[in-house]
A and B are shown apart, each in its own frame.
Chain A
Amino acid sequence: MNLDRKFQKKETIASRCIADEFFLVPICSQPSDMQKIFILNSPADFIWQHLDGEHTLDELITAVVEQFEVDQEQARSDTVEFIGQLLEQNLLELEGAS
């Protein structure tokens, strides 16, 4: 995955924090099954909050390294994998793609 890319949360998703747990709730109809919500753990929520269309993937990985004190390689691997999941679930789009 190109690390210069910028990603943006889709406006069709609402994020909720309830009792310190993070949920992604699809608002609009999805191509896949609508009857599901997504539960994010703390690192996943950190990444989700930073997907603002302004920061590159590379900058995001750096922020993950600083926040969770993990090495660069693991942060890159986990972040890229997670973003792949979000794209697969249609929760994310490339900045400028909409």
Chain B
Amino acid sequence: MNVTCGPSPEISDEIFWSEFSGKIERLRIPFSGGIALTHRCNLHCLHCYAREKPNPQDNSAPELSTGQWKKIIDDLREAGCLYLLLTGGEPLLRDDFADLYSYTKRKGLLITLFTNGTLITGQMADLFRELPPWQIEISLYGADAATHDRITGVPGSFTRSLQGVEELAARKIKFTLKSILMTLNAHEFPAIEKIAQSYGVDFRMDSSIFPSLAGDRSVLDLRVAPEQAIANEFADPKMVGKWRDFLNRFHAAAEGEDLYACSAGTTTFHIDPYGHLYPCLMVRKLRYSLLHGTFQQGWNEVLSGINETKSDANFKCRGCRQKLLCGFCPGFFELENNSDQIPSAYLCALGKLRFERVNQEISGG
């Protein structure tokens, strides 16, 4: 008999997690997902994908009630969800946020929270100290108030976000700062990263701005040139190794005819504030209303359709060597080109540049 109780910080136990990942994929268990508690926000960020309600009928639809969310959380637990993202809009705008957060924690789910930080009061930070989240990610769009507030559209938001950060730091609660790279803030990225360093926390950037869920493409004007995005990304010397590890680990995922080779609808899901269940935030073509049935019904009867979606014979990404480096995402393609089989030219350019950069570094060039 071998009795073990090995502490497993994230995915350090590679053998267990590698085998377990295969198992939950075969069994199609919704191990990880996200719920947008609200699309309301106290900021009005220029690049936000949820600036307008994605579906016109949602304009009159009420957000799910506390009781409805708790029922869904019960169902998620039963279905095998361990990692749950709470996002928005700004999730802390919900009057019942503390109640829903505590309820989810006590059910044994590991919570990641996406927030702009402006509503993290001392009382809220005390809650996070008592019931720690798995991760908190706070968005910071500039290194100073002028840039950040210009992007959020709300004067004073930079100061309030940093006040929230201070509340967390004072209680030694782990968090990450993150930012979206765009034309308005690209020049400030080293300084934003220094703010993260001053708190001793991780910093994460993303350059993939995509159209709003309601179809507004004007936000794409905020994208920086692919060359600049890659230069910013590889300013971190660890990125080459990270991409190389990623390639080694997931190279098989680039093969095959399945269009959705990712985890969407297989082990991950997304639920919007009105109770619509989707395979992920981006993929909107499969949808099930949890007002009319249980999570398990939607997962089994509707989202399972994701596995039946094959790529066209002339799909450009088939066999592409850069597919794992571009941020390949048919949901992204759909939002950008109204077809999940027409690649995003922007992502293609990023993939090509990353491929060159990684190969160049590996060959010592």
The answer to whether A25 touches B110 (Cβ under 8 A) is yes
The answer to whether B1 touches A27 (Cβ under 8 A) is no
The answer to whether A18 touches B24 (Cβ under 8 A) is yes
In the assembled complex, the CB of B146 is this many whole angstroms from the nearest CB of chain A, namely: 35
Q: Which residues of B contact A37 (CB under 8 A)?
A: 7-8, 110
The answer to whether B5 touches A38 (Cβ under 8 A) is yes
> Considering the chains assembled together, what is the distance between the CA atoms of A50 and B15 in angstroms?
28
Q: Which residues of B contact A5 (CB under 8 A)?
A: none
Residue ID in chain B nearest A24 by CB atoms: B5
The answer to whether B1 touches A68 (Cβ under 8 A) is yes
Q: Which residues of A contact B6 (CB under 8 A)?
A: 38-39
> Do A35 and B4 contact each other (CB < 8 Å), given the known contacts A14-B107, A18-B82?
no
8 Å CB interface, B171-214 against A: 174
For chain A, which range describes its interface: under 10, 10 to 19, 20 to 34, or 35 or more residues?
35 or more
Residue ID in chain A nearest B23 by CB atoms: A19
- Could you pull out 18 A-B pairs where Cβ atoms are within 8 angstroms? A16-B82, A19-B23, A19-B80, A28-B132, A29-B130, A33-B9, A34-B132, A36-B7, A36-B8, A37-B7, A38-B8, A39-B4, A39-B13, A40-B5, A44-B4, A47-B3, A75-B1, A82-B5
Interface bits B81-117 vs A (CB < 8 Å: 1, else 0):
0100000000000000000000001111110000000
Interface bits A45-83 vs B (CB < 8 Å: 1, else 0):
001000000000000000010001010001100110110
The answer to whether B130 touches A14 (Cβ under 8 A) is no
The answer to whether B108 touches A15 (Cβ under 8 A) is yes
Interface bits B126-165 vs A (CB < 8 Å: 1, else 0):
0001111010000000000000000000000000000000
9 extra A-B contacts, CB within 8 A, seeds A16-B82, A39-B13: A27-B105, A28-B132, A29-B129, A35-B10, A38-B7, A40-B4, A43-B2, A70-B1, A74-B1
Inter-chain CB contacts under 8 Å: number: 91
> Considering the chains assembled together, what is the distance between the CA atoms of A79 and B6 in angstroms?
15
> Considering the chains assembled together, what is the distance between the CA atoms of A95 and B1 in angstroms?
26
The answer to whether B80 touches A18 (Cβ under 8 A) is yes
The answer to whether A21 touches B131 (Cβ under 8 A) is no
Let me know if B31 is at the binding interface, CB within 8 A.
yes
Q: Which residues of B contact A78 (CB under 8 A)?
A: 1-3
The answer to whether A16 touches B1 (Cβ under 8 A) is no
In the assembled complex, the CB of A70 is this many whole angstroms from the nearest CB of chain B, namely: 5
Let me know if B29 is at the binding interface, CB within 8 A.
yes
Let me know if A86 is at the binding interface, CB within 8 A.
yes
> Considering the chains assembled together, what is the distance between the CA atoms of A40 and B174 in angstroms?
26
